[in-house]
Copies of this chain bind each other. A is one copy, B any other.
Amino acid sequence: MTKPQNFHPSHIVVDWGTTSLRAFLISPDGTIGDRMESERGIQFIADDAYEAELTTAISGWIDTYGILPILALGMVTSRNGWVEVPYVSCPATPADLAKGIVSRHLTNGCPVLLLPGITDPARTPFPDVMRGEETQIVGFGLDKDICVVLPGTHSKWARIGDGRIQGFQTFVTGEIFALLSKHSFIAKAAGDETGAMDWAAFDRGAEQAGRALPETDALLSLLFSARTGILAGQMAATETRDYISGLLIGHEFRQADLCGWIDRQAEIGGEIGIVGNDGLNDRYERVARSLNLTVRKGREEAAIDGALAIASHRKSKITHAA
């Protein structure tokens, strides 16, 4: 690569998930000097091939800048990934997360710090889990008492406050939407995806899902409205996909609210954080605003800030111990 002037990298941050690998060349203040992305998610990597895969992915940067510490997060630290890093339990501070880091070295000499995911033992019926989103949340900032949602295949609702991630809950909204739009009878009517978002259809779905009636709270029943709306001549078949997206995200907000995640202040609404890079933030923001919530947006690459913040706690700890 060409060396940009006045850019002095201190770290490489690697967000390695199930379906993709994304890496960033970072200066100490979190500025991105360069980035790469590939579809080499962990589902495609053999158990003994992680080191070689990572070494190859970042070789251009190492050739140019020499050895750099690598901060790795996401499903690469799971049981199905490179190194299984035990979950840190909520409530968790960045210092708690730093204590959970597991380190390795690549053969090129780069140290790799594998950042832990977190678990919330308070959830029912089993402790909930995340890997990667906790680092985005730390990057968003823990200085305010607020609920943060991270939209995604498995979206996460988290409570932060008192400098900690207090707890969280997963909703598999994105996965159900993908299943319905790709494989279902219900959405068969929709035809092929055109790429243009039909916000009116989306809003209509979100509004139906938020009506607080037993019938509309019954998601398995509400989903059938994507068919009955067409049969009743109330909806066009082409609206189906975005209507279902609205139904599901609206339902997620309604259920998250019933589970106590959303701060409600009767007259003035409340506030919610939205963090993520799955291309869904606009949809979540739209539903939040329709519920009279003020939205505080995280930066798209919040994971970078979070990874640096967590790593800094580890560094200082080592220094103090020395």
Interface residues of A (CB under 8 A from B): 18, 79, 123-129, 153-154, 169-173, 175-176, 179-180, 182-186, 208, 211, 213-225, 227-229, 231-232, 234, 248, 251-252, 255-256, 258-260
Contacts and interface: CB of A to CB of B under 8 A. Distances in A.
14 contacts: A125-B225, A126-B228, A127-B232, A153-B185, A154-B224, A170-B224, A171-B224, A175-B184, A176-B179, A179-B179, A179-B183, A215-B259, A217-B258, A220-B252
Given A215-B169, A229-B125, A259 B221 contact: yes
A127 B183 contact: no
Contacts of A171: 218, 220-221, 224
Nearest to A205: B125
A79 B233 CA distance: 13
Contact of A234 (B126, B220, B224, B234): B126
Contacts of A234: 126
B183 A182 contact: yes
Given A170-B228, A172-B224, 4 more contacts: A129-B227, A171-B220, A175-B185, A221-B259
A273 B214 CA distance: 22
Contact of A127 (B169, B228, B248, B255): B228
B124 A213 contact: yes
A221 B153 contact: no
A118 to B, nearest CB: 12
Contacts of A153: 185
A180 B177 CA distance: 11
Q: Which 10 A-B pairs have the closest CB atoms?
A: A218-B255, A126-B228, A179-B179, A171-B220, A170-B224, A126-B232, A214-B258, A214-B259, A124-B215, A126-B229
A216 B124 contact: yes
B182 A215 contact: no
B225 A255 contact: no
Contact of A18 (B123, B185, B186, B211): B185
A101 to B, nearest CB: 20
Contacts of A215: 123-124, 169, 259
Contact of A225 (B18, B126, B185): B126
A260 B126 contact: no
Given A180-B179, A259-B218, A125 B208 contact: yes
